[in-house]
Structure 1
Amino acid sequence: MGLLVLGLLIWVGAHIFKRVAPEQRAAMGDKGKGVVAVLLLVSLGLMIWGYRGAEFIPVWNPPSFMVHINNLLMVIAVFVFGMSATTGRLRGKMRHPQLTSVKIWAVAHLLVNGDLASIVLFGGMLAWAVLEVILINKAVPVWDRPQPGEAKKDVVLVVITLVMFGLMTGVHAWLGVWPFPG
């Protein structure tokens, strides 16, 4: 559990450093991007290693139907994440699509995982995403909304969403976590 918490702390620190200490981050120049990238990779490794190695301590027992809600929310999370890169009509409909996607992902996983390590991981990521949105909105209160593009690009986003969801469920199955009810 210690590695999981350490990974979360590094993740949060690396992300919010730019928001809470912008002058120090700017002084680091391009080297700072590399430092942050390394810290994020280390944090991901620690979170994965810590989560997979954490003792299973049950806190609550999620009902089995939550798996369906989780899967639906995950399709939505992948779609919303993709909105950050779309050049279609949906561009500019949401200010923080990637962070919103993390929030949806975290809530979805909290619905189906009732153990302490899951609550720490997914609850921690949810708290980080909320904090990050607050800090960004405070630092840049006015959003320059991008102009929408072509509708056919949104169709591409739907196709990419379905392919990515399929790949993600495949990785979960490969890791021994079957994401569909039996």
Structure 2
Amino acid sequence: MAYLILGLILWTAAHLFKRVAPELRARMGTAGKALAAVGILAGLGLMIYGYRQAEFVNIWFPPAWTVHLNNLMMLAAVFLYGMSATKGRLRGAMRHPQLTAVKVWAVAHLLVNGDLASLILFGGLLAWAVLEVVVINLSEAWERPQPGEARRDIILVIITVVLFLAMTFVHNWLGVWPFPG
């Protein structure tokens, strides 16, 4: 669990670096960006390694129906994440579509995983995403972007379905079939 927790701390610190120490980050220039990127990648690697190595300690038994809710929420998370890059009508629907996607993703995974390592990983990333939104909102003003063409939103829906199917394939390849029975 130590690697998992260390990874979460490193991930969070690297992401918050720009907001918590903006002057230092600005003075560092490209080196500051590189340091943040290395911290994020190292944190991700430690989280993956720590999660895979963690002893299974069951905390609760998720009901079978939560798998269906998880899959629906995951489809929504992929869509929300894509909203940050869309040029469609939904472009300015929310301020933090990527962080909202992470929150939906984390809650979806908490619904179907009742072990301690999952609670630490997904709960930790949920806490990070909430903290990140608060810090960004306190430090930056936001101008809602102008909506674009509706056809771009249709393209986003198609991309969402394709990416969701690809994620299902990867989960299956890793030995986790995300659909019930």
TM-score band w.r.t. shorter chain: over 0.9
Match of 1:98 in 2: 98
Hey, what's the Cα distance between the residues in 1 that align with 2:38 and 2:12?
Answer: 14
| Conserved 8 A contact 2:78-2:160 | yes
Deviations 1:51-89 (A, max 9, x none): 011000000000011000000000000000000000000
Deviation at 1:35, TM superposition (A): 1.4
Kindly provide the amino acid, as one letter, of the partner of residue 162 in structure 1.
Answer: V
SS in 2 for 1:63: coil
Q: TM-score, normalised by structure 2?
A: 0.99
1:133 aligned residue: 133
SS at match of 1:61: coil
Q: Output the amino acid matched with 1:154.
A: D
Q: Where does residue 121 of structure 1 map in the other structure?
A: 121
Equivalence for 2:174? 175
| 1:45, distance to aligned residue in structure 2 (A) | 0.8
Paired residue for 1:64? 64
Q: Are positions 1:89 and 2:89 aligned together?
A: yes
Using the aligned pairs only, state the percent identity: 67
Asked if 1:6 corresponds to 2:12, the answer is: no
- Whether the aligned pair in 1 keeps the contact of 2:17 and 2:36 (CA below 8 Å) is no
The farther-off stretch of 34-43 and 153-162 is: 34-43
1:39 CA displacement: 1.3
Q: Find the aligned partners of 1:144 and 1:60 in 2 and give their Cα distance.
A: 43
How many residue pairs match? The answer is 181
Residue 90 of structure 1: SS of its match in structure 2?
A: helix
TM-score by length of 1: 0.98
Instruction: Kindly indicate whether residue 179 of structure 2 is the aligned counterpart of residue 160 of structure 1.
Output: no
Please say if residues 110 and 118 of structure 2, whose CA atoms lie closer than 8 Å, have aligned partners that are also in contact.
yes
* Corresponding residue number in structure 1 for 2:40: 40
Deviations 1:7-30 (A, max 9, x none): 000000000111111111111101
CA RMSD, 1 decimal: 0.6
Q: Which runs of 5+ in 2 are unaligned?
A: none
Distance 1:134 1:34 in 2: 24
Matched position secondary structure for 2:163: helix
Deviation at 1:125, TM superposition (A): 0.2
The answer as to 2:22 corresponding to 1:22 is: yes
Residues 116-172 of structure 1, C-alpha deviation per residue, up to 9 Å, x if partnerless? 0000000000000000000000001x3111000000000000000001101111111
* Partners of 2:8 and 2:84 in 1: CA distance: 24
Counterpart Cα distance in 1 of 2:143 and 2:116: 40
Runs of 4+ in 1 over 3 A off after TM superposition: none
